[in-house]
Amino acid sequence: MSNAFPLPVVIVGGGFSGAMLAARLAERGQASVVIDRSDAFGLGVAYSTALAAHRLNVRAGRMSAVADRPADFVDWLTARHPDQADPNGFAPRRLYGLYLRDRLAAVEEARPDLIRRVTGAVVAVDGLTAVLASGERVEGRAIVLATGNPAPRTAAQGGRIIADPWARQALARVQPGDDVLILGAGLTMVDVLLMLEAQGWRGRAAALSRRGLLPRAHGTRHDAPLALPPEALTGPLSARLATARRLAKTHGWRRLMEGYRPITLDLWRAATEVERRRFLRHLRPWWDVHRHRIAPEIADELDGLIASGRLTVRAGRVLAMESTDTSASLRLATRGGTEHALSAPWLIDCTGPGHDAATAPPTAALIASGRARLAASGLGLDLDAEGRVRHADGAPDPALYVLGPPARAAFWETVAVPDIRQRIEALTERLAI
């Protein structure tokens, strides 16, 4: 490697994580190549929606893409969309996408030649070279895998099963009067119902999930974080949970969750593998619905659908699914053990991102070659505290990093912008020359 002409950082994935890392690196004078299989740099699945009803699930005041300019997004809104510039509000995600594109373009203009965009799918990582499906090879001084939120992994296929609701025009075949079965009752289900409503759908939806929990709503104002006592943070998980329940009753669950926010990473790091697995098995659904909330106006829409009988949510385990020419059907075992058969013209998979490092390129090949291994928690690749991929023998790779949602094994909450933003800062510190 020459110091006079150092190689760029190669970033695989150009969604929020990859694009904003490239911008931050360029501001520090570090060149990068951002490779994305679509040409929607900056957007990813989350911010490429055109639907006004798709709102951010984090208040605008917390959505700055730049760690040291907390008001950056609200300032952008004030200049371009003043009617949406409420720091407490939940702006349309489409506007957030425009903001990210503007920020990337502004950095590219200010620091010409430091960011190279390449469109194509990375299928392998060979040493410090990303290999594209086209055969093109892009060499770097470090590689960052920022591959984000993959499509759901659907257990069944068929003409009446909509396996990837985020794919373009995926819902276009649903007719206004069609009923739908929805697998999953989380944020993707909410997105899908809003898309169906916007296309004039008036049918009924039955949403099915293991516990039948719906995402909770944000309050009208940001809730002040609760200072958590030691008994909420140490000791057996069951005792911590009892304390948390008591605190939620006294102070409100939103203040409790805000109290956890700044120390979540410390708690995750301090936990043993056994504790992590217990948390994931028993508490994760509850954690997710309270931590990843929806805007109050979206919650009102959901309540309206439930009150009118158009949305029902059922808890249970899906035993089997199938699709015929005219309908999709499934068998559901409730938690009490009773079996139900359900059918509708469509079944939509809203189980959320189908992270699967074991089979997805390029990580599957990394695992097969021993350059990566899976984390015991089941949350994807095993990483060290800096997000470096651990080899089969546990040693961290000197120059292969993971950023964003696929880095959950190391950072747990690394899905939303405020959390990824911190990781981008840390990586920039490491990777900028």
Ligand X SMILES: Cc1cc2nc3c(=O)[nH]c(=O)nc-3n(C[C@H](O)[C@H](O)[C@H](O)COP(=O)(O)OP(=O)(O)OC[C@H]3O[C@@H](n4cnc5c(N)ncnc54)[C@H](O)[C@@H]3O)c2cc1C
Q: Which of 83, 65, 85, 66 is nearest to 75 (CA)?
A: 85
For residue 296 the two structure tokens come to 């109050």
Size of the site for ligand X (CB under 6 A): 30
The reply to whether 192 sits near ligand X by the rule CB under 6 A is no
Given candidates 8, 10, 11, 14, which one binds ligand X under the rule CB under 6 A? 14
Print burial letters for 69-82: b (CB count within 10 Å at least 16), e (below 16).
ebebbbebbeeeee
**Helices (DSSP H) in 252-376: which residue ranges?**
253-260, 264-270, 273-278, 284-291, 296-307, 363-368
Among 30, 32, 147, 351, the residue binding ligand X under the rule CB under 6 A is: 147
| Closest distance of CB 243 from ligand X, Å | 28
| CA atoms of 70 and 418, how far apart (whole Å) | 10
Minimum CB distance to ligand X smaller for 143 or for 232: 143
Cα-only R_g, the chain = 22
- Exactly one of 22, 31, 131, 146 binds ligand X (CB under 6 A); which one? 146
Looking at the Cβ atoms of 63 and 318, the one nearer to ligand X is 63
Strands, E assignment, 281-409: 311-315, 317-323, 328-333, 339-344, 346-349, 388-390, 396-402
Choose, by CB under 6 A, the member of 22, 23, 30, 36 that binds ligand X. 36
| Structure tokens given for 6 | 């150092």
Q: Tell me if 30 contacts ligand X by CB under 6 A.
A: no
What single letter denotes the amino acid at residue 57? N
Among 9, 56, 131, 313, contact with ligand X (rule: CB under 6 A): 56
Q: Which is nearer to ligand X, 146 or 228 (CB)?
A: 146
Other beta carbons less than 10 A from residue 169's beta carbon: 6
User: Least distance to ligand X from the beta carbon of 252, Å?
Assistant: 22
Nearer to ligand X, 151 or 155 (CB): 151
Among 37, 81, 101, 117, binds ligand X (CB under 6 A): 37
What is the x/- site pattern for ligand X, positions 149-178, by CB under 6 A?
Answer: x-----------------------------
Scanning 38-46, 277-285, 364-372, 394-402 for contacts with ligand X by CB under 6 A, the matching segment is: 38-46
Residue nearest to ligand X (CB): 44
Least distance to ligand X, CB of residue 247, Å? 25
Q: Which stretch binds ligand X (CB under 6 A): 14-22, 177-185, 198-206, 372-380?
A: 14-22
Helices 16-27 and 93-110, axial angle in degrees (round to 10): 30
Binding residue for ligand X, selected from 10, 17, 323, 366, defined by CB under 6 A: 17
Q: Pairing relation of β-strands 122-126 and 129-132?
A: antiparallel
What contacts 336, CB < 8 A, 6 or more positions away?
none
User: Least distance from C-beta 255 to ligand X, angstroms?
Assistant: 20
Residues in Cβ contact with 140 at an 8 Å cutoff, skipping those fewer than 6 apart: 7, 8, 9, 10, 32, 33, 128, 129, 130
**Among residues 58, 125, 189, 205, the one that binds ligand X under rule CB under 6 A:** 58
272 CB-near residues (< 8 Å, 6+ apart):
none
DSSP string, 85-134: --TTS--BHHHHHHHHHHHHHHHHHHSTTSEEEEES-EEEEETTEEEETT
Site for ligand X in 346-405 (CB under 6 A): 404-405
Side-chain-side CA neighbours of 294 within 13 Å: the count stands at 22
The only residue of 148, 165, 186, 316 in contact with ligand X, by rule CB under 6 A: 148
Quote the CA–CA distance of 9 and 114 in Å, as a whole number: 10
Per rule CB under 6 A, is residue 35 in the interface with ligand X? yes
Asked if residue 32 binds ligand X (CB under 6 A), the reply is no
Nearer to ligand X, 17 or 327 (CB): 17
From candidates 163, 184, 191, 387, binder to ligand X by CB under 6 A: 191
Q: Minimum CB separation from ligand X for residue 328, in Å?
A: 23
Is-cis flag, bond preceding 362, omega within 30?
yes
Q: Give the x-and-dash track for 72-111 against ligand X (CB under 6 A).
A: ---------------------x------------------
Nearer to ligand X, 195 or 332 (CB): 195
Query: How many whole angstroms separate alpha carbon 23 and alpha carbon 288?
Result: 30
Q: State in angstroms the smallest separation of the CB of 127 from ligand X.
A: 17
Residue from 122, 163, 189, 208 touching ligand X (CB under 6 A): that is 122
Alpha carbons 319 and 340: distance in angstroms, whole number = 10
Contact residues for ligand X, defined by CB under 6 A: 12-18, 35-38, 44-46, 56-58, 93, 121-122, 146-149, 191, 404-405, 415-417
